[in-house]
């Protein structure tokens, strides 16, 4: 190679080196700049600037370090760097809504951020150092932040018992139980109600094949012209707990055929003498009287009727039993009489009490139901169906199992498939990649998936067997929250120790009390030792509260102590013997150990004490703001007209000392009475007596509406 060329090459190489060195220098110079510009460092610096604009700069910056902040709780799998940017999270002075995020204080909750970390409740990526990575899901990290409107799900992951602070979660769990979701799915902690769907072993004696066809095709029967009905203040598309299955004509024919021949227990019709009926039926007021009886017995406490006003249809009444607006067009009249006389003989686990009926009342009420609670158009679009063919019955039986009907409804001799639907016990911990989105155009995250599946199961999986439920937006969110709370077994033993299990509650009545209790289904509405319904007052300590004689009179003729209530204790037409059995057991057994009847003798109360008590009641404490005596007072608390005939003095004293010790969730505030004041108030209340002979209760507008709804 000539020297000249060599020189040229050297020059070129030098040139290349020079240029590349400059480039590397530039790159090197950029990297500290890029490091300086990192997202979290910018938040760090802007926090300092923000703190300097506040009066308490010194305190706000006391813990400040320019490094990444981290909450590290190895036992709980928490490595959370969220406080790197959310620096004011524990600063009490930054709670105001005007403080810009991410610096605002965390709202006050029972858990300290330093002890629990952030992702324990909020999910997201704790170790991430960029906003988007921490909050959103990426391909590598799949758990996005839990939207705050579902945050109660995180409470439910450990708190398996219901908390007062999480109404949304509690509602969601309640819906999962009410809708029998655990009939098909494994849902730990969701109570299995005694009755999933009704037992259909003898459904053929109750309803016609046409009605079954209509019910399977379109379970909703009460709607206004827009196809809506308002339940509990929410507009919804349908009321019944029975969801809508996607069934074709052949399937409808087969299922209705199969069900219509289910007559395991033949109907034994109860016949009232035709001569007696003939004389009753001359009564022009028969149906109105039946309606009145229906109202007086407070059927509406458990059953609702639809009322249409100004084009809006509302269900008014309780939701323990089915709504009855069109029940007269549904059930066989002989079945209705047999049912009302003894519900348990048709449905062993029913929650309906066995009322004591006179033949006349029974006749009047059934006549009212058969003439007023009807809809002649109910079966208009149903084809005429004859007796089913054998093929239809066979196909119907197969469909009953395949469609999952058997998961909620029992039929004698039919064994449901175990674990019919997927196990949902760890649904809340699933990553997006574990879910099937099908062709649904929804964001690929767990929350969207759950909501899409609940609203229309076929939208994410066209072959889904899950039927269609109709949700109002609040309930949809509540159920989503409850499902998100189910994250399966805790990952570490430290987390396992944090789980607060549900309290298992049970009440085991004994002896003749048990029989009467079972007949009247007291636990449908009342709680005993935490077990039972929550519609009516808890009776765990009723024996300490009420006098035995009052209990007997009340059971025979219940009247409300709270005149504003729409849902009231039904008139059960109880016999003297049954009432005495209940009252004896309640007085002897359902006692609170803290209320000592022997400690108080009503004779110790002097008129002077009672006079002082009256003074305290009316002037110093103004109890009349919530309680009624005579014709005046408030109706937040119970009416005290007959306090002396109703309550035991020992109960009044214990109650005035600390109401919450006796009934934890009572709203009566605990006052700071002196012992002398308590004695005086007790003495005064014991002087209040009023006969509790049946008194006409004023009809509130809602009651009138229940009655009117029947005919519409």
Please report, as ranges, the residues that interact with another protein according to CB under 8 A. Answer: 12, 15-16, 19-20, 23-24, 26-27, 30, 34, 96-97, 107-109, 130-133, 135-136, 138, 145, 147-152, 164-165, 167-168, 443, 447-448, 477, 562, 564-566, 619-622, 625-626, 632-636, 660, 665, 667, 669-672, 700, 702
**In sequence order, what are the beta bridge partners of 78?**
73
In the bound state with another protein, the residue whose beta carbon lies nearer, of 445 and 547, is 445
Q: Do residues 179 and 241 touch, judged by C-beta distance below 8 A? A: yes
List the alpha helices (DSSP H) in 146-241: 152-158, 167-178, 209-217
- Rounded to a whole number of angstroms, the minimum distance from the CB of residue 449 to another protein is 12
At how many degrees (to 10) do helices 675-686 and 607-615 cross? 100
- Rounded to a whole number of angstroms, the minimum distance from the CB of residue 15 to another protein is 4
Q: What is the C-alpha separation between 482 and 175, in angstroms, rounded? A: 9
In the bound state with another protein, the residue whose beta carbon lies nearer, of 507 and 621, is 621
Residue burial 345-370, b: 16+ Cβ < 10 Å; e: rest: ebbeebbbbbbebeebbbbbbbbbbb
Q: Do residues 454 and 476 touch, judged by C-beta distance below 8 A? A: yes
In the bound state with another protein, the residue whose beta carbon lies nearer, of 142 and 344, is 142
The per-residue DSSP string of 454-492 comes to HH-HHHH-TT----B----HHHHHHHHHHHHT---S-SS
**In sequence order, what are the beta bridge partners of 186?**
423
- Rounded to a whole number of angstroms, the minimum distance from the CB of residue 107 to another protein is 4
Q: What is the C-alpha separation between 54 and 47, in angstroms, rounded? A: 11
- Rounded to a whole number of angstroms, the minimum distance from the CB of residue 644 to another protein is 23
- Rounded to a whole number of angstroms, the minimum distance from the CB of residue 632 to another protein is 8
- Nearest 10 degrees: Cα torsion 111, 113, 115, 121: 70
In the bound state with another protein, the residue whose beta carbon lies nearer, of 415 and 433, is 433
Provide the residue count of the chain.
712
In the bound state with another protein, the residue whose beta carbon lies nearer, of 408 and 482, is 482
Minimal CA–CA distance to 556: which of 573, 569, 581? 573
Q: Is 528 helix (H, G, I), strand (E, B) or coil?
A: strand
Instruction: Measure Cα distances from 251 to 120, 415, 423 in Å.
Output: 48, 20, 27
> What is the rounded end-to-end Cα distance, in angstroms, of the chain?
111
In the bound state with another protein, the residue whose beta carbon lies nearer, of 122 and 521, is 122
Residue entry with tokens 């109750």: 206
- Rounded to a whole number of angstroms, the minimum distance from the CB of residue 634 to another protein is 4
Q: Which pair of tokens denotes residue 618?
A: 């009316």
Q: What is the C-alpha separation between 137 and 147, in angstroms, rounded? A: 13
- Rounded to a whole number of angstroms, the minimum distance from the CB of residue 617 to another protein is 11
- Rounded to a whole number of angstroms, the minimum distance from the CB of residue 633 to another protein is 7
In the bound state with another protein, the residue whose beta carbon lies nearer, of 519 and 657, is 657
- Rounded to a whole number of angstroms, the minimum distance from the CB of residue 562 to another protein is 8
* Region label for 669, one of left (φ > 0), alpha (ψ between -120 and 50) or beta (otherwise): beta
- Rounded to a whole number of angstroms, the minimum distance from the CB of residue 124 to another protein is 12
In the bound state with another protein, the residue whose beta carbon lies nearer, of 74 and 669, is 669
In the bound state with another protein, the residue whose beta carbon lies nearer, of 165 and 192, is 165
Q: What is the C-alpha separation between 670 and 161, in angstroms, rounded? A: 26
Residue 476, CA atoms < 13 Å, CB-side half-sphere: 18
Report the alpha-carbon angle 668-674-675, nearest 5: 100
Q: Do residues 534 and 551 touch, judged by C-beta distance below 8 A? A: no
Instruction: Give the number of other Cβ atoms within 10 Å of residue 630's Cβ.
Output: 11
- Rounded to a whole number of angstroms, the minimum distance from the CB of residue 91 to another protein is 16
Instruction: Look up residue 502 and give its DSSP letter.
Output: P
In the bound state with another protein, the residue whose beta carbon lies nearer, of 263 and 562, is 562
Q: What is the C-alpha separation between 180 and 298, in angstroms, rounded? A: 27
In the bound state with another protein, the residue whose beta carbon lies nearer, of 15 and 72, is 15
Q: Which pair of tokens denotes residue 450?
A: 């759950």
Q: Which pair of tokens denotes residue 398?
A: 């197969």
In the bound state with another protein, the residue whose beta carbon lies nearer, of 447 and 569, is 447
In the bound state with another protein, the residue whose beta carbon lies nearer, of 152 and 182, is 152
- Rounded to a whole number of angstroms, the minimum distance from the CB of residue 177 to another protein is 21
In the bound state with another protein, the residue whose beta carbon lies nearer, of 498 and 626, is 626
In the bound state with another protein, the residue whose beta carbon lies nearer, of 27 and 598, is 27
Given CA atoms 620, 623, 625, 631 in this order, what sign does their dihedral have? negative
- Rounded to a whole number of angstroms, the minimum distance from the CB of residue 226 to another protein is 19
- Rounded to a whole number of angstroms, the minimum distance from the CB of residue 236 to another protein is 18
Q: What is the C-alpha separation between 379 and 256, in angstroms, rounded? A: 14
Minimal CA–CA distance to 93: which of 63, 49, 42, 57? 57
Q: Identify how many contiguous H helices and E strands the chain contains and give both numbers.
A: 31, 10
Q: What is the C-alpha separation between 453 and 113, in angstroms, rounded? A: 34
- Rounded to a whole number of angstroms, the minimum distance from the CB of residue 3 to another protein is 20
- Rounded to a whole number of angstroms, the minimum distance from the CB of residue 470 to another protein is 21
In the bound state with another protein, the residue whose beta carbon lies nearer, of 386 and 665, is 665
- Rounded to a whole number of angstroms, the minimum distance from the CB of residue 320 to another protein is 17
In the bound state with another protein, the residue whose beta carbon lies nearer, of 305 and 567, is 567
Write the CB contacts of 87 (distance below 8 Å, at least 6 apart in sequence). Answer: 43, 44, 47, 64, 69, 102, 103
């Amino acid at each position: 190679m000539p020297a000249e060329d060599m020189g040229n090459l050297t020059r070129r190489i030098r040139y290349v080196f020079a240029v590349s060195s400059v480039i590397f220098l530039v790159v090197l110079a950029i990297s500290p700049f890029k490091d300086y510009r990192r997202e979290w460092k910018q938040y760090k610096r802007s926090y300092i600037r923000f703190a300097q604009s506040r009066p308490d700069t010194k305190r706000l910056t006391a813990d400040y370090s320019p490094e990444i902040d981290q909450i590290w709780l190895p036992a709980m799998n928490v490595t959370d760097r969220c406080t790197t940017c959310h620096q004011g999270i524990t600063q009490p002075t930054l709670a105001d809504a005007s403080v810009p995020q991410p610096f605002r204080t965390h709202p006050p909750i029972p858990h300290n951020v330093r002890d629990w970390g952030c992702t324990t409740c909020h999910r997201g990526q704790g170790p991430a150092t960029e906003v988007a990575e921490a909050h959103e899901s990426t391909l590598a990290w799949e758990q996005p932040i839990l939207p705050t409107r579902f945050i109660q799900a995180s409470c439910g992951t450990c708190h398996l018992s219901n908390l007062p602070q999480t109404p949304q979660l509690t509602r969601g769990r309640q819906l999962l139980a009410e809708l029998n979701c655990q009939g098909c799915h494994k849902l730990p902690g969701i109570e299995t109600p005694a009755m999933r769907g009704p037992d259909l072993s003898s459904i053929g004696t109750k309803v016609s094949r046409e009605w079954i066809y209509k019910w399977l095709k379109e379970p909703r029967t009460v709607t206004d012209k827009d196809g809506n009905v308002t339940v509990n203040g929410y507009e919804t598309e349908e009321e019944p707990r029975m969801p809508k299955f996607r069934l074709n004509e052949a399937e409808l024919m087969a299922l209705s055929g199969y069900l219509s021949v289910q007559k395991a227990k033949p109907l034994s019709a109860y016949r009232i003498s035709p001569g007696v009926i003939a004389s009753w039926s001359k009564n022009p007021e028969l149906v109105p009287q039946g309606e009145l009886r229906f109202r007086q017995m407070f059927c509406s406490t458990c059953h609702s009727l639809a009322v249409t006003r100004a084009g809006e249809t509302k269900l008014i009444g309780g939701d323990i039993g089915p709504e009855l607006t069109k029940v007269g067009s549904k059930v066989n009249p002989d079945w209705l009489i047999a049912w009302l006389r003894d519900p348990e003989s048709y449905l062993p686990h029913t929650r309906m009490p066995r009322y004591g009926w006179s033949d006349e009342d029974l006749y009047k009420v059934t006549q009212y139901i058969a003439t007023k609670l009807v809809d002649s158009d109910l079966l208009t679009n149903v084809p005429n169906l004859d007796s089913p063919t054998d093929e239809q019955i066979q196909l119907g039986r197969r469909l009953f199992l395949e469609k999952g009907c058997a998961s909620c409804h029992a039929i004698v001799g039919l064994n449901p498939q175990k674990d019919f639907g997927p196990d949902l016990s760890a649904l809340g911990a699933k990553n997006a990649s574990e879910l099937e989105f099908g062709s649904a155009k929804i964001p690929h995250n767990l929350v969207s998936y759950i909501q899409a599946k609940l609203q229309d199961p076929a939208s994410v999986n066209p072959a889904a067997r899950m039927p269609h439920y109709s949700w109002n937006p609040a309930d949809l969110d509540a159920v989503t929250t409850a499902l998100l709370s189910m994250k399966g077994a805790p990952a570490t033993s430290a987390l396992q120790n944090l789980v607060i299990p549900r309290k298992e509650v049970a009440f085991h009545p004994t002896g003749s009390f048990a029989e009467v209790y079972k007949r009247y289904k007291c636990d449908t509405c009342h709680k005993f030792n935490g077990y039972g319904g929550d519609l009516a007052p808890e009776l765990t300590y009723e024996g300490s509260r009420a006098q035995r004689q009052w209990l007997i009179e009340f059971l025979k003729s219940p009247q409300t102590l709270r005149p504003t209530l729409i849902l009231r204790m039904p008139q059960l037409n109880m016999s003297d013997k049954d009432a005495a059995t209940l009252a004896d057991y309640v007085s002897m057994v359902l006692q609170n150990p803290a209320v000592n009847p022997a400690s108080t003798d009503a004779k110790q109360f002097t008129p002077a004490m009672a006079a002082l008590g009256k003074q305290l009641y009316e002037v110093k404490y103004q109890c009349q703001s919530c309680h009624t005596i005579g014709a005046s007072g408030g109706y937040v608390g119970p009416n005290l007209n007959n306090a002396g005939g109703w309550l035991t003095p020992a109960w009044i004293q214990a109650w005035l000392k600390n109401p919450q010790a006796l009934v934890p969730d009572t709203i009566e505030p605990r006052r700071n009475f002196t012992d002398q004041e308590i004695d005086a108030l007790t003495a005064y209340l014991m002087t209040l007596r009023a006969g509790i002979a049946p008194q006409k209760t004023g009809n509130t507008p809602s009651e009138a509406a229940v009655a009117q709804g029947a005919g519409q």
